[in-house]
Amino acid sequence: MQTLAQLKSGELTGAKRLALSENLTSFPLEILTLADSLEILDLSNNQLSSLPEELGQLKKLKIIFASNNNFETLPQVLGGCVSLEMVGFKSNQINVVPDNSLPIKLRWLILTDNRIEVLPDSLGKRPRLQKLALAGNRLTSLPQTLTQSTNLELVRISANQLKQCPTQLLNLPKLAWFAFAGNPFSQADINIQSVPEIASSSFTLENVLGQGASGVISKATWNNRQTTLPDDIAVKVFKGEVTSDGYPEDELQACLKVGNHKNLVQSLAQVNEQGYLALIMSLIPANYKNLGLPPCFNSCTRDTFPSGFTLSIEKIAKIIRQMEDVFSHLHENQVCHGDLYAHNTLFDQQANIIFGDFGAASMYHMLSEEHQQQIKQIERRALHHMIDDLLSICVEEDQCSDEYILFKQQICH
């Protein structure tokens, strides 16, 4: 994080990245002194409600973040930024998205947690659009022009007011990661009680193991020994608010609907108290590590991996077979995971995997048979992308093996 004082003094001359969070109420025009270099501008966590026309002078600007501000309208000036590819205005009060506010090179749009009821037709006329995050708005429909979004790969429309299944998305040729829970058209008519409800006073949270958009996972210990549940547990306490993927309640129900599988994080119990929603799970052994890293700006929707990280085709094949079994289990239970990625997968030295993170999961048993098949096909693309990503880290000497070639052929058909 830099400071406005640094900017004004000229200390940041030539900077490619700038992040300012100083309770700003107006756009500092000194930012324009970086017009020849600035590529990433982060103005999140301020009090801004508008951007000046001069923003268009930032000819190299590729990414702008302005989350947690006071915008009610997505600024039209964004549409004139010739190099802008990623726009993130999460958690504002946006209720108007002007037709000309979307840059022509747009690849990645984040408007999560706003008040948007209608989106412009121009959204479907941005041919490079790959990633679209719209969870937590008031949308009652989506533009029909999205049928033209042939490069769209990831969509988050959970926690809106969509009354009809958005069929204009279901036949898109590249859509692979799709989250749609928490809408009237996907309203679940079941309340799953596949695990017991317990009191939050039954356990004590200890060290944090990890956290994501929807909650914090901690190691925990029982306050009184449980005779029917394992001693070693982890607890995910949900944040109780709409996230980039949707409502925590939908995540919990999808988790419970899927049930148990040897390669999934095992759900043991739930807490469903006023203001406290939690899932108790088996503690994953410490020797399991993340298989991949989340996408970056350049990869957009595809996983990344640590530099130099490789696996033998034998281990890759074992991981793929387990993921295919997980995929079948999910869809036998009519749940679309929505985030099928290597970075949501843990593995050990023997290539045994544990898959988790149901934040983007959506139940689809209430949809028509045709739509159910389309949802399954969408997620199958995600599985093929994951296989392709794993093959990209295969050790060179195994890349001529029969198994490697077979997997390559599988994802090409």
CA–CA distance, 199 with 221 (Å, rounded to integer): 13
* 8 Å CB contact between 115 and 74: no
236 is in an annotated binding site: yes
Q: Which residues of 356-395 are buried (b: 16+ CB within 10 A; e: fewer)?
A: bbbbbbbbbeebeeeebebbeebbebbbbbbbbbbbebbe
State which H helix or E strand residue 255 sits in: helix 248-258
* 8 Å CB contact between 258 and 246: no
The crossing angle, in degrees rounded to 10, of helices 402-411 and 313-332 is: 40
Beta strands in 162-259 (DSSP E): 177-179, 203-211, 215-222, 233-238
Name the β-bridge partners of 65.
Answer: 42, 88
Nearest of 162, 160, 227 to residue 198 by alpha carbon: 227
* 8 Å CB contact between 339 and 326: no
**Block residue for tokens 């859509």:** 175
DSSP 8-class letter at 247: -
Q: What is the CA radius of gyration of the chain?
A: 22
Structure tokens at 316: 């890759």
Sheet architecture: strand order including 345-347: 289-290, 345-347, 353-355
Report the 10 Å Cβ neighbour count for 23: 8
DSSP 8-class letter at 96: B
Nearest of 156, 36, 179 to residue 90 by alpha carbon: 156
Annotated binding-site positions for ATP: 236
Annotated binding-site positions: 236
